[in-house]
């Protein structure tokens, strides 16, 4: 099964509490690439049913204008997740985010329930995509197995709050406690050919610290970041969208590699930097990201 949206642009994935109808009504106005409507930890146990109902109404009746609708369902150790899935599929959610994923068996259980719901509500089979949040040491150790557990899988996301609790440490703001997990997850995701997303930044008023963290994870290779507030969107988009300088350099690299190849030359310089075929895919990726972000004006 190949789904056209498996690798779409997901620089920013913004959490919203499905318990608050006002929050899930028109949040597409903020311009995040994906909205994550949350039925899990942002929703109080006493409000699970009402949150699910308001989520269903929003999925059914709000025009999200191309903004991807991801729903974080409740964990598989709860009594809620199966009904969450039925409600998401009946409403037409694009992606389900599985929280606290520890192994491929959990993904398979969700996949079975999703398929049953697609049949029940006459949705095209395979139309609902999945992503998995890794929130424990065991989950991070299983990253590759989770990435390859389903054809529906778009990628994995680090969940720093629960993960650091499991590691018996805390979020420090420096990233030192998340270093190993981030490295392991990006390697696993790339080996499996899926996307990789970083965790939320909760120190809302410290936007400089947030920017540093976004720059770090972008350089590590991540595709985007889970976020919790609209103020975080412009920073993520600015960091993840290629600059004009990067675009122009990448164009030169692609054109020079194409032309030097015809002349039988394998290694040369562009703007004083050594270039060979190894740089081709990276330059193509910059152009593809610029196109997807709507900033490319060139002709490649």
Ligand X SMILES: CC(C)(COP(=O)(O)OP(=O)(O)OC[C@H]1O[C@@H](n2cnc3c(N)ncnc32)[C@H](O)[C@@H]1OP(=O)(O)O)[C@@H](O)C(=O)NCCC(=O)NCCSC(=O)C[C@@](O)(CC(=O)O)C(=O)O
Does the protein bind ligand X through residue 162 (CB under 6 A)? Answer: yes
Tell me, by CB under 6 A, how many residues bind ligand X: 23
Residues 144-173 that bind Mg ion (CB under 5 A): 159, 162
110 binds, among Mg ion, ligand X, none (CB under 5 to 8 A by kind): none
Site string for ligand X, 119-158 (x = CB under 6 A): --------------x-x---------------------x-
72 labeled part of a ligand binding site: yes
Residue 35 exposed, middle or buried by CB count within 10 Å (0-12, 13-18, 19+):
buried
Nearest to 223 by CA among 272, 186, 248, 269: 186
Question: 201 vs 240, which CB is nearer to ligand X?
Answer: 201
Token digits of residue 122: 């006459």
Query: Is 135 flagged in the annotation as binding?
Result: yes
Give the nearest distance from C-beta 32 to ligand X in angstroms: 8
Q: Are 232 and 12 in contact (CB under 8 A)?
A: yes
Whichever of 44 and 191 has its CB closer to Mg ion, that residue is: 44
Phi, psi of 299 (to 5 degrees): -120, 10
> CA 66, 196, 134 angle in degrees (round to 5)?
110
Out of Mg ion, ligand X, none, what residue 145 binds, judged by CB under 5 to 8 A for its kind, is none
- Closest of 243, 155, 167, 168 to residue 198, by C-alpha: 155
Q: Is 210 in the site for ligand X (CB under 6 A)?
A: no
Segment contacting Mg ion by CB under 5 A, of 112-120, 127-135, 139-147, 234-242 = 127-135
**C-beta of 36: minimal distance to ligand X in Å?**
8
Q: Provide the angle, in degrees to the nearest 10, between the axes of the packed helices 81-91 and 104-120.
A: 50
Q: Is 231 in the site for ligand X (CB under 6 A)?
A: yes
Of the listed pieces 10-18, 49-57, 180-188, 207-215, which binds ligand X according to CB under 6 A? Answer: 10-18
Which residues form the interface with Mg ion (CB under 5 A)? 135, 159, 162
Which residues form the interface with ligand X (CB under 6 A)? 14-17, 23, 27, 38, 41-42, 133, 135, 157, 159-162, 199-200, 226, 228-231
Known binding-site positions for Mg(2+): 135, 162
């Amino acid at each position: 099964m190949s789904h056209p949206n498996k690798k779409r642009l997901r620089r920013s994935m913004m959490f919203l509490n499905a318990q608050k109808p006002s929050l899930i009504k028109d949040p597409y106005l903020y311009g995040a690439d994906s909205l994550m409507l949350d039925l899990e930890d942002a929703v109080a146990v006493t409000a699970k049913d009402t949150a699910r109902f308001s989520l269903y109404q929003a999925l059914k009746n709000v025009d999200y204008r191309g903004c991807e609708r991801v729903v974080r369902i409740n964990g598989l150790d709860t009594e809620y997740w199966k009904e969450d899935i039925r409600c998401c599929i009946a409403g037409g959610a694009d992606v389900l985010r599985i929280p606290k994923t520890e192994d491929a068996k959990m993904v398979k259980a969700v996949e079975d329930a999703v398929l049953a719901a697609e049949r029940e509500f006459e949705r095209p089979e395979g139309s609902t995509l999945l992503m998995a949040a890794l929130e424990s040491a065991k989950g991070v150790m299983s990253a590759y197995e989770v990435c390859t557990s389903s054809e529906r899988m778009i990628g994995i996301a680090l969940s720093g709050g629960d993960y650091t609790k499991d590691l018996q440490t805390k979020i420090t703001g420096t990233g030192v406690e998340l270093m190993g997990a981030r490295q392991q997850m990006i390697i696993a995701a790339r080996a499996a050919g899926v996307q990789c997303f970083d965790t939320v930044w909760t120190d809302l008023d410290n936007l400089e610290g947030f920017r540093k963290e976004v720059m770090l994870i972008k350089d590590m290779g991540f595709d985007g970041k889970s976020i919790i507030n609209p103020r975080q969107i412009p920073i993520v988009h600015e960091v993840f969208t290629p600059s004009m300088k990067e675009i122009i350099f990448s164009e030169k690299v692609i054109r020079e590699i194409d032309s030097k190849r015809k002349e039988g030359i394998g290694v040369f310089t562009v703007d004083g930097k050594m270039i060979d075929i190894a740089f081709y895919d990276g330059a193509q990726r910059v152009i593809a990201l610029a196109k997807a972000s709507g900033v490319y004006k060139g002709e490649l």
